[in-house]
Amino acid sequence: TSGPTLLPLDFAFVFDGISYTGVKACSNGFLSFNANATYNVGNALSGTNGVPDKPLLAPLWDDLSGAGTTSRASYTTTGTSPNQVFTFEWLNWKWSYAAAAPSISFQVKLYEGSNRIEYVYRPEAAAPSTGPSFGASIGLAGGTAGTTPSEFVSLNNTSAAPVASNATETTTITTAPAAGQTYAFSPPTGGCLGVRNLAVASVSASSVVLTFQTTGGTTGYVLTYQPAGGAVATVNLPAGSASPFTLSGLLPNTTYAVTLTGQCGGSTSPAATTSFVTARAVYCASGLGGGCGPFDITAVVLGGSGLNARNLSCTAVGTDAYTSYPAAFPATGRVAQGSSYPLSVSTAGSSILSAWADWNHNFVFEASEWVQVSVSNPANGTATVALAVPAGAVPGQTGLRVRSRQSANTNGAADACTNFASGETKDFVLTVVGPAACAPPTGLTATAITATGATLGYTSAGSGSYTLVYGPAGFDPATGGGTAVPNASSPLVLTTLTGGTAYEFYVAQLCGPGNQSQFAGPLAFSTAPANDDPCNAVVLPLTGPCAPQNFSSAGATVTTSPSTSAGACMGANINPKDVWFSVTTRASGPGSTSLRFSVTGNAAARVQLLRVNPTTGNGCAGPFISVACAGNGTNQAAADLNVSTLVASTTYYLRVHGANFNDPLGPFTLCATAAGLVGSRAQTEAAALQVYPNPSGTGVLRLRLPAGHAAATALLINALGQTTRPQEIAAGLNEYSLSTRGLAAGIYTLRVALGGEVLTRKVVLE
């Protein structure tokens, strides 16, 4: 190219409505009005490529060369003002650059005042030569701004009367024009050119910076902008308004269409257009405090909306316990203006709970948008409150915030952004839609639950028909993830369910073609596990070291026959929802008279061993005699149940349940070992298993074991009874590093099966 600065024209030349006083020349056969122009060989006049090279004039844009011995590039300005002419000449130029000799000379002439452009040609002795990139463009190209394609004029050949098109581009010309052939381009007289190259420079949540090129003769501008699905707004800009222009007061996360037209006295220019999407504004997301731990939010469900987020984990971002969930199932929902939805929040520890929904969509959680979910939600409990959507809620996506904090603290209307010392903050996305066509049903129920069936019911809300959808817990009724029952009556009896499985169901009213209420639900229920009574007890194997098996009490019911309760060994008769196991003592040796039962998981707060009454008993139908019991009155796994003086070759029944009637049901582990109960050093001496550091935030637990020990198995069990990181320890290895990287912070049980003994320690991971 001709250098870092523009070549002077010595007068003002107007191209595409813009006034220029200099050009930059390129050996590849074009002049550019852009000081950043390069030697671009990609000769596309249209499109968005070649941004630094446009606007430009292309008398013969191809991969050319001026490397011949007689080649010369020169320019001059002739005449007197106001009728000067600028001429640039490519003399004896090679086409293509790999040609052996020059094949063409050509000029560009720019006329002062009239702003006329002429291309003049003279073929030389050698013919154009094929080579890399052979094939030229002849025409004009306007500027390119961002994603706005350049306007262009393209000639389709080098005849005396080529077709000039601003719709179809020709980039493959290979024939030289005749000697003296001239192509002239003259701007239209009169009219209103307005603006060029309207583009977006930057976007925020509430504003946009627009850039454009102004043209002569414009006395003002009219800018219109319209949000998707919204009304058109107009801004009148006076003459002299400069680019860039900032348009403010916009809605976040919204698509806008923009037009800008120029006003020239009584006429209006063609409109320049563009579009953009404003950024999603951010709610207060720092300085919230809290911490991952006992007051974590474990589930957020907005019934009937599709928001069904369960088994949630806590995320620590710096000093904040904060998680923002994307607008994807199951952490998002749709709500209708004027409707109300049950908001259910579950927490790990006893917490005060609040929620805010940004109904006016101003990205501020205001006191008027607050609802108290609970002032003291119990540990592992769920609190529910009605969340009413105002009739005037702004349609579209908006935020839902849920915050927990340790009970007996403040968590009120003004605390959406307050720095808490405990608990956590979770943000979800709701989509607000217009009023529902009809009301959803109410009063969802699940009764007569067995291992394979349940009776589902609802209260109708109108004369329409009803669709019931059921499926595994957490499914999305809107995506076909469950089983739909059209024209479902209430009650509806299901008979083909799977035992020990957590289910949910939804119901919606159909009130005309294409019209449906929001879904009511989900209502959760669990089918009874197969071992819900003693006659279906799961047989436990007797092992040496403890080999925990995974079980669940989800869906368990009260055993009514035989009439035995934990009251036989723990005091009050609580009518527990229990599951049953059986184990048979060995004829002799270990496991014939002494057994140990070990559990993990909060659902196994009490463990009771029973034996059929030898006098009046009738097998699994009982009645039973209580032999021993272990447990506590809180929602924590029972201690090991050690039982001696048992009868050899006898079947015993083991009953596992919670501490109270309404305690949460769920997963736990259980093992039966034949280890002797007489204390050995590994069982009785704390030094037999040392764990450090404890608490640990290093990602590693160091275990110190007794000298000369047999091969051992170590595993970590979380508060839900889930087994993680089982690892084998070679015999005689006195120290062992157990990796904890990737595990969530919290309290775990470390269980080491060492020979015939099981050693346990409570460990804390930070």
Cis peptide before 695 (omega within 30 of 0): yes
Place of tokens 């607000």: 432
Dump pLDDT digits (tens) for 352-391: 999 999 998 888 899 999 999 999 999 888 999 999 999 9
Tell me the average pLDDT of the chain: 86
The DSSP secondary structure of 249-295, one letter per residue, reads SPPTT-EEEEEEEEEETTEEPPPEEEEEEPPPP----SS-B--SSTT
pLDDT value of position 75: 98
Average of per-residue pLDDT across 644-653: 90
Tell me the residue ranges of DSSP E strands in 553-633: 579-584, 595-600, 606-612, 624-631
Average of per-residue pLDDT across 425-452: 89
Residues 652, 597 contacting (CB under 8 angstroms): no
Residue 697 has pLDDT above 50, yes or no: yes
For residue 338, the tally of other CB atoms under 10 A from its CB is 14
pLDDT value of position 528: 84
The DSSP secondary structure of 34-60, one letter per residue, reads -TT--------SSSS--GGG-SEEEEE
From 214-223, 294-303, 447-456, the region with the lowest mean pLDDT = 214-223
Average of per-residue pLDDT across 324-333: 85
Dump pLDDT digits (tens) for 36-64: 888 888 888 988 777 788 899 999 999 99
Residue 322 has pLDDT above 90, yes or no: yes
Sequence-ordered list of residues with C-beta below 8 angstroms from that of 59, at least 6 positions apart, any chain: 29, 30, 90, 106, 107, 108, 119, 121, 138
Residue 565 has pLDDT above 50, yes or no: no
The three-class DSSP label of residue 133 is coil
Higher-scoring residue by pLDDT: 51, 445: 445
pLDDT value of position 310: 85
Q: Which two tokens stand for residue 234?
A: 């107009």
Dump pLDDT digits (tens) for 17-33: 788 999 999 999 999 99
DSSP structural state of residue 306: T
pLDDT value of position 682: 37
Dump pLDDT digits (tens) for 473-490: 878 787 667 899 999 999
Average of per-residue pLDDT across 256-278: 82
The DSSP secondary structure of 501-560, one letter per residue, reads -EEEEEEEEE-STT-BPPPEEEEEEEPPPTTSSGGGPEEPPEESS---EEEE-TT--B--
Name, of 234-238, 408-412, 494-498, the range with top average pLDDT: 408-412
With bands split at pLDDT 50, 70 and 90, how would you rate the model's confidence at 677? very low
Q: How many CA atoms lie within 13 A of 620 on its CB side?
A: 16
Name, of 20-29, 265-274, 330-339, 640-649, the range with top average pLDDT: 20-29
Dump pLDDT digits (tens) for 337-348: 988 888 999 999
pLDDT value of position 688: 66
Name, of 69-83, 205-219, 226-240, 376-390, the range with top average pLDDT: 69-83
Distance from C-alpha of 746 to C-alpha of 220, rounded to nearest angstrom: 66
Furthest CA-CA distance within the chain: 131
Q: Which two tokens stand for residue 435?
A: 């009023």
- Percentage of residues of the chain with pLDDT beyond 70: 92
Assessment of whether the complete model's pTM goes beyond 0.95:
no
Residues 75, 41 contacting (CB under 8 angstroms): no
